[in-house]
Structure formats: structure tokens, C-alpha cells
Amino acid sequence: MRFLIPCLIFLASCSVEDKQSEGPSDQISVTLDTVLVDSGDEFLFLQDNLFMSELSSDESYLINFNRSEVDAERIDLNNLVLDRVIPLEKEGPNGIPPYISSFLITPEENIFIWNYQFYKIFDQQGQLIENLELEKLVPEFLGGSEVYPSRFYLDPKSPDRLVGHFIKWEDKSYFILDIDLKTGLYTKIDLPLLEKTQIYNTNIMYDGNWMGSYGTGIYPNSNSEKIILATNVLNEVQVFDLSSDSLYTKGWDTPLLGSKRTYLPPKEVDGESGEIEEIRKLAEQDISYGSLIWDKEDKQFYRFSSQSYFGEEKDEYGSYIPTRSDVFLSVFDENLELIAEALIPELTQKPKRHFVKDGKIWMYENRDDELAFVRMEVNF
């Protein structure tokens, strides 16, 4: 369940193109193996399933943010050991908020952390390097809490360029800000595809007041040249090309996955009725499209999608527990043309945090409270 917390505009001079394509449904073969990470005497923070973690650009390590202790764990993926714990502070000049939107690792291997009115870069010793002060640079959008900073991207060809995508809570609109940190100029680019997904959202009401919503998930990814925004309800992505400043939509309609989720939930429910769990169950029994992840070695994208099956068992929070899932893998070339797509019977639960390293898909797994990765080699 996702809970939401409740001008000068420069319009983008970018081209918009809609593309729809059908693709092949080829048999894919996979090979799996599992590796464990040696954390020594440390207990790694696995409660969030590595949700707040980032892979380094050379794929040699992963940084996992520990919101409980407010520090970060640097995992050496080449040697499968905990390299070290990066100390972060809760207060003072090097302090960060207890809850952050996200972070990324810069080309200089610093850590850019952001949240509402907080846009700061730290080194890997936890020391503040730079305060970007975006709330002052772009006060019309980032000066308060009306706009949520979802994700930022760096342009490797232009170190002063910072691109981010945002959600405006009031009207649930999505947009990109393309910011020149040197001049302070910026361009606002609307994201119509993401707004089209609102029919899949259910508003959660308490005593007649809106308290949040459940439904659409937005999954961002970048391969340095393109920013790709995928959703869990449409077999489409919105692409912003950093080289040409163009925005376009790419979609697929395939025999296995279709073009969109068919289940449409009610527009609102009473949060105390328990109906939201029935809606979640029906939604996840339908298709859920995943994020696109980039394989820089083979220059292709992978995407998992899934359909889940449920019994009557619920967890401690009242949510239905899936008994199993059908997991599909789609493979796209660098131009997002579908190459292959198939059911992967070796996977019976939808993958959690996953990424590509050395041409293999690494999928997070908790093995008796130890950090493990299932590595998948894909052939077709």
C-alpha cells in the first residue's frame, strides 16, 4: 500500500512520439545459481528487501541504506563480502533525515541523497561534500512538500545537468525537471503516460477524508542515454532521451502479456472495511509488469512480469499471502524492440530487488537472515 503525503513553468521543446509494437514469444532457457554474502560479525539490514539500495556504475559493489541505524552497508559483489559500513549522522552538519526518498552513487563515487527540501551529496565516509539547495534553485516546485522528488538521474556527458522526475500530490501529475546546476535554468516536461495510469488507482478514505491510494507503481531506470519510466499496469514505457531531449512512448502487445492490466479497481474504498486487501488480491492475480533493467555487457534490457495465485491465508498485516506466481521474462534490445519473451518455470515467486552484473541477473534473496543472490544466466 502506498500512502501519499499531501508558478513559472518552462515547457519542454521536445518531440513526442507514440510507438506500439508486437514482438516474438521465444523460448528462453536459464541457468541459476545462488551465492551468499559474508557479513562477518555484522547483521545486514534486510527488512526492506534491499528496496533502498544502489549498484555502482562498475557493478563492483552495492550500497544498501539502513534506515533503522541511519547508515549504509557497502557490499563487495566481486568477493561477496561486506566491505564496510558507511557511517551517516542523524543530526549536525552531516545529518540526514531518518526517511529519505532515495539516493544514487555519483561518477565520483559520492552519495547523492534526497528528500523534501533536502538535496545533499556526501562522500563514502559520511561527510557532506555539497548542498545542491534545489529547494532554492527551483522554489516553485521544490520549495515545499507539495511535490515529491521520486528519482534523479545524471547525464555522463554533462556533469552540470541533473534530471529528476516528480509527483505533484494535489492533482497526481507526473513531470520531469531538467536542471542546469551551473546556470540555475530548468525545463519542465510533463509525463502523460504516467497520468494515464490513474484509472488503476484506488483512493483510501477514512471518515470521508482521503488518506492515501493503492494501485499504480512507477519503476524508473536509466542506461545513461535514456531515462525509462515503466509502470506495473501498462505494457508501455515513457522514454526521455538525454541526447536528443525527446520524449516518447514505447508499447507492446504480446500473446503472453497483452498490452495492459484488465482489472480496474473501484475509485475509492473505506480504509476500515478491509476491502483494499481484496482489491490488492484481484490486482495481483492479473498481470503486473516490472521494471526494465539494463545489461551493459550485452546491450539489452530485461523485464520480469508476474501473475500471482492466492489461497485464504493472510499475513500479520491482513494481506493475502501468494502461494506461487507465474513469472515471465521479456528481453529487449537497446532500442526497446522485443527480442524474446517466455514463462520462466524455474521462478515461482516474483523477484524482489534485482539488477544485472557481468551479464547475469542478480536477484536478492533472504536465506535465514543472511544476504544471498540468485544469479540467472539467460540464453535464447
Whether the predicted pLDDT of 21 surpasses 50 = no
User: Residue 319 gets which letter from DSSP?
Assistant: P
What pLDDT, on the 0 to 100 scale, is given for residue 26?
Answer: 65
In a domain, 25, yes or no: yes
In a domain, 199, yes or no: no
What pLDDT, on the 0 to 100 scale, is given for residue 318?
Answer: 87
Whether the predicted pLDDT of 281 surpasses 90 = yes
Q: Report, as an integer, the average pLDDT of 172-195.
A: 94
Q: Report, as an integer, the average pLDDT of 94-107.
A: 94
Summary mean pLDDT of the chain = 91
Domain count, the chain: 2
Query: How large a percentage of the chain has pLDDT more than 90?
Result: 83
In a domain, 15, yes or no: no
Whether the predicted pLDDT of 30 surpasses 60 = yes
- List strands edge to edge, sheet with 268-270: 209-214, 202-206, 268-270
- What separation in angstroms does the CA of 341 have from each of 20, 71, 119, 235, 283? 16, 39, 39, 13, 22
In CATH, what number is assigned to the domain containing residue 94? Answer: 2.130.10.10
Whether the predicted pLDDT of 4 surpasses 60 = no
Mark whether 225 and 152 lie in a shared domain. no
Query: Could you tell me how far CA 248 lies from the centroid of its own chain?
Result: 19
Mark whether 242 and 356 lie in a shared domain. yes
Is the model's pTM score more than 0.85? yes
In a domain, 205, yes or no: no
Mark whether 284 and 181 lie in a shared domain. no
Mark whether 234 and 336 lie in a shared domain. yes
Pairing relation of β-strands 81-87 and 71-76?
Answer: antiparallel
The angle formed by the CA atoms of residues 302, 305 and 310, to the nearest 5 degrees, is 155
What pLDDT, on the 0 to 100 scale, is given for residue 211?
Answer: 84
Sort 80 into a burial class: Cβ within 10 Å, 0-12 / 13-18 / 19+. Answer: middle
Query: Among residues 166, 117, 153, which one has the least CA distance to residue 9?
Result: 166
Mark whether 67 and 175 lie in a shared domain. yes
Whether the predicted pLDDT of 38 surpasses 60 = yes
Calpha distance 176→187 (Å, rounded): 8
Mark whether 115 and 242 lie in a shared domain. no
Calpha distance 207→209 (Å, rounded): 6
Mark whether 32 and 60 lie in a shared domain. no
Lowest mean pLDDT among 6-15, 50-59, 151-160, 357-366: 6-15
Q: Where does a domain end: 129, 155, 190?
A: 190
Q: By residue range, what is the domain housing residue 180? A: 51-190
Contact 196, 206 (CB under 8 A): no
Q: Report, as an integer, the average pLDDT of 322-340.
A: 97
Mark whether 61 and 161 lie in a shared domain. yes
Mark whether 127 and 248 lie in a shared domain. no
SS (H, E, C) 46-78: CCCCCCCEEECCCCCEEEEEECCCCEEEEEECC
Whether the predicted pLDDT of 3 surpasses 60 = no
Q: Where does a domain end: 155, 190, 225?
A: 190
Whether the predicted pLDDT of 274 surpasses 70 = yes
Per residue in 288-320, pLDDT (tens digit) is 999 999 999 999 999 999 999 999 999 988 899
Confidence of residue 70 (pLDDT cuts 50, 70, 90): very high
Mark whether 379 and 301 lie in a shared domain. yes
Q: Report, as an integer, the average pLDDT of 152-166.
A: 94
Per residue in 160-176, pLDDT (tens digit) is 999 999 999 888 889 99
What pLDDT, on the 0 to 100 scale, is given for residue 10?
Answer: 29
Q: How many CB atoms lie within 10 A of CB 316?
A: 5
Per residue in 217-267, pLDDT (tens digit) is 999 999 889 999 999 999 999 999 999 999 999 999 999 999 999 999 999
